[in-house]
Amino acid sequence: MSYDLNQRLVVGVTPSALFDVSESNRIFVEQGIDGYRKYQDEHLNDPLPRGVTFPFVQRLLALNDLQPDDPLVEVFVLAKDDAMTGLRVMKSFAHYGLDVKRAVFTEGTTPYRYIDALNICLFLSGSAADARAAAEEGYPAGQVLGHTALDLDDEGDAGALRVAIDFDGVAADDSAERIYRQSNLALYLEHERDNASTPLGSGPMKRFLVALGRIQQAELAKHQESGDYKPRVRLALVTARQAPAHERAVETLRSWNVQVNDAFFLGNVRKADVLEVLRPHIYFDDQMSHLEPARGVVASVLVPYGVANAITDQIVGTSSKPSETTPEPTQKP
């Protein structure tokens, strides 16, 4: 009987997102493929250092203890390595005790073409080019910023998994932002108020959120069965929307059966200051203006989607959507 991926939260992660591969990449650039292969063979039993998304993936996989015989989470490594050079990656999983059994090695070609075939709802890469190319093909892709894993463990957090996500252009589509760009702030607010009960369309991270919601439901069921169990998944919405535009975001998530534990409708307040207190294990946003000040304190992922990341915007210098309080060109909901 085949292993069914349809009801699982499936993540595809490249070695550059999960590990610090900066030294391996330097060898490849300086010595080419032959030098790279030799280097990996010589260091086959040296585990790669933990990278940005390592704590996120580690805690996500730990949720499989909810259903040991029918795992809720599956992680694929998707790599441009060949199978031989990929051995070090697989040995690194074993060293750290990460339960990653499945891998796709595509020797120099882009592995994201297999996202749909593997039911992957989240693709994470350290390569800006690969993340953008995958996003342009309609895949749920994000570029991981940085190399080193951040220590986000808190005393007494009992293996909690904290996920924070922006709304427009990340969870939902960018149609609201496009309304703003075609009008102005006042008309945008009026439009969002008039459409408060109309859910927005799907953004690139919707499937991931829905799958995470299923895990939250499994945790709730276990808590009801045994009051000793404390749910570990904590989902936060961190957005520059503010009243009255907040209501449409809430109604959209409700229509997807996604429950957020924390919601921050910040207007023009700097997201990084809130994220430093919240300390999520991963944070998704579609604008570098929010991620640059945050990446030093949280594992940050750029979602290269929508009008905020359009090539034409970069060429003509079109500003991204401001917050709902002050027309700042680097803020958006």
Q: What CATH number should be reported for the domain whose range is 9-144?
A: 3.40.50.1000
Mean pLDDT rounded to a whole number for the chain = 88
Note the pLDDT of residue 329. Answer: 26
Please tell me whether the overall predicted TM-score, pTM, comes out greater than 0.85 for this model: yes
Span of 158-162, 259-263, 303-307, 310-314 with lowest mean pLDDT: 310-314
Domain(s) labelled CATH 3.40.50.1000 in the chain stretch across: 9-144
How many of the other CB atoms lie within 10 Å of CB of 54? Answer: 24
Is the model's pLDDT at 137 over the cut of 90?
yes
Is the model's pLDDT at 322 over the cut of 90?
no
What is the rounded average pLDDT of the residues 8-13? 97
Going by pLDDT thresholds of 50, 70 and 90, the confidence category of residue 323 is very low
Is the model's pLDDT at 333 over the cut of 50?
no
> For the chain, what percent of residues have pLDDT higher than 70?
91
pLDDT digits (tens, 9 = 90+) for 191-234: 999 999 999 999 999 999 999 999 999 999 999 988 889 999 99
Q: Which sequence positions are flagged as catalytic?
A: 166
Note the pLDDT of residue 320. Answer: 33
Tokens read off for 36: 């790279």
What is the rounded average pLDDT of the residues 298-307? 92
pLDDT digits (tens, 9 = 90+) for 145-182: 988 877 766 655 768 999 999 999 999 999 998 887 78
pLDDT digits (tens, 9 = 90+) for 91-120: 999 999 999 999 999 998 889 999 999 999
Rounded to the nearest 10 degrees, what angle do helices 185-194 and 246-255 cross at? 40
Note the pLDDT of residue 314. Answer: 31
Note the pLDDT of residue 156. Answer: 57
pLDDT digits (tens, 9 = 90+) for 30-61: 999 999 999 999 999 999 999 999 999 999 99
Multiple choice CATH, 161-316, 3.40.50, 3.30.300, 3.90.1690, 1.25.40 = 3.40.50
Span of 9-18, 104-113, 226-235, 302-311 with lowest mean pLDDT: 302-311
> For the chain, what percent of residues have pLDDT higher than 90?
75
